[in-house]
Chain A
Amino acid sequence: MQDTTGAQTHEDGNALAGPLSAVFAHDMTTAVGRCLSCAAERPLAEVSVWSHGPGLVARCPGCDAVLLRLVRTPRGSWLDMTGLSRVLLPV
């Protein structure tokens, strides 16, 4: 997008709606996550999941670092993915 001077501007987050709906409709177990801690990459189906506590905790099988946390509450679902430096969604 450009303004009247020709400089590029940004759009609001609604521009993410289409592209992200494709991302989040993806089967995430086939997504390949990179561990922020040790840089190992593997499909999320292969990570270690601890599910008996107050929420779900996914850990790197290599270094035990937390990759992802998910908590479902009455207000909504809380998702923390700060332990993943990137995710590849294979075609």
Chain B
Amino acid sequence: MGSLTPGFHGRPRPQGVALPPGQYVTEDFPVLSAGPTPRVDTATWQLDVVTETGATHSWSWADLMRLDQEEPTVDLHCVTRWSKFGTSWRGVSLDTLLADVASAADFALVGAYGGYTTNLPLADLLGGKAWIVHTYDGAPLHPVHGGPARLLVPHLYLWKSAKWVRSIRLMVQDSPGFWEQLGYHDYGDPWREQRYQGD
């Protein structure tokens, strides 16, 4: 299941080949936050998926840990122009989480502890392209990077990969999130440089 590429971590690549237009490579992991870091205890952590009919599906931390775990290694592309190659994560595929959720929605609005939101097509959460991750590089995900759990949608700009993920609202119509309301792109494909509306 999923687009796992075990052993890919650390493999050298020719410069420029896997780099989307307008990006540069960084080795460290910059922290870009729009507010204070929420401190979320796994004892009270919860993820809600709310469908377009209002049906709510909830997972506790223990529920999340009981699900099939995957270990994607992926490249990250931030709209502030840095890219980071070969990041290793552990978490649950959205295909697994949403397997029993009945919905005809085309869009999702992801919500986070602290109030952040971001929108994307539901199809981009499915098909082995997105995870709820809780482990980075073999260690529990640090709060500054979105721990205890964040969304990971690496084929889109990183602002779509909401840190401190709290909810996923499934919607028939698209609804812009925190940055999308202020001119950022509703889709955000780094390979097509979809930074802003109209790109």
Chain A, 39-69, CB within 8 A of any chain B CB: 50, 52-55, 57, 59, 64, 66, 69
B139 within 8 A of A: no
Of the four ranges (under 10, 10 to 19, 20 to 34, 35 or more), the interface on chain A belongs to 10 to 19
Is the Cβ of A66 less than 8 Å from the Cβ of B183? no
Is the Cβ of A54 less than 8 Å from the Cβ of B159? yes
Of the four ranges (under 10, 10 to 19, 20 to 34, 35 or more), the interface on chain B belongs to 20 to 34
Is the Cβ of A55 less than 8 Å from the Cβ of B35? no
In the complex, what distance in Å separates the CA atom of A69 from the CA atom of B176? Answer: 15
Asked whether A57 and B34 contact (CB < 8 A) given A73-B183, A80-B181, the answer is: yes
B79 within 8 A of A: yes
Interface residues of A (CB under 8 A from B): 50, 52-55, 57, 59, 64, 66, 69-71, 73-75, 78, 80
Q: Tell me which residues across on chain A come within 8 A of B179, comparing CB atoms.
A: 53-55, 71
Q: In terms of DSSP, what is the predominant structure of the interface of chain A? A: strand
One of B32, B181, B183, B195 near A53 (C-beta < 8 A): B32
Total residue contacts A-B, CB cutoff 8 A: 51
Q: Can you name 8 extra interface pairs (CB under 8 A) apart from A54-B179, A73-B183, A75-B198?
A: A50-B34, A50-B35, A52-B33, A53-B33, A53-B34, A53-B179, A55-B34, A59-B35
Is the Cβ of B35 less than 8 Å from the Cβ of A64? yes
In the complex, what distance in Å separates the CA atom of A70 from the CA atom of B34? Answer: 12
In the complex, what distance in Å separates the CA atom of A54 from the CA atom of B157? Answer: 11
Q: Tell me which residues across on chain A come within 8 A of B182, comparing CB atoms.
A: 55, 69-71, 78, 80
Q: Tell me which residues across on chain B come within 8 A of A57, comparing CB atoms.
A: 34-35
Q: Tell me which residues across on chain A come within 8 A of B181, comparing CB atoms.
A: 80
In the complex, what distance in Å separates the CA atom of A59 from the CA atom of B33? Answer: 12
In the complex, what distance in Å separates the CA atom of A84 from the CA atom of B33? Answer: 21
In the complex, what distance in Å separates the CA atom of A69 from the CA atom of B184? Answer: 13
B196 within 8 A of A: yes
Nearest CB on B from A56, distance (A): 9
One of A52, A64, A75 near B183 (C-beta < 8 A): A75
In the complex, what distance in Å separates the CA atom of A75 from the CA atom of B32? Answer: 23
Q: Tell me which residues across on chain A come within 8 A of B140, comparing CB atoms.
A: none
Asked whether A64 and B80 contact (CB < 8 A) given A54-B159, A74-B196, the answer is: no
Is the Cβ of A52 less than 8 Å from the Cβ of B32? yes
In the complex, what distance in Å separates the CA atom of A71 from the CA atom of B33? Answer: 14
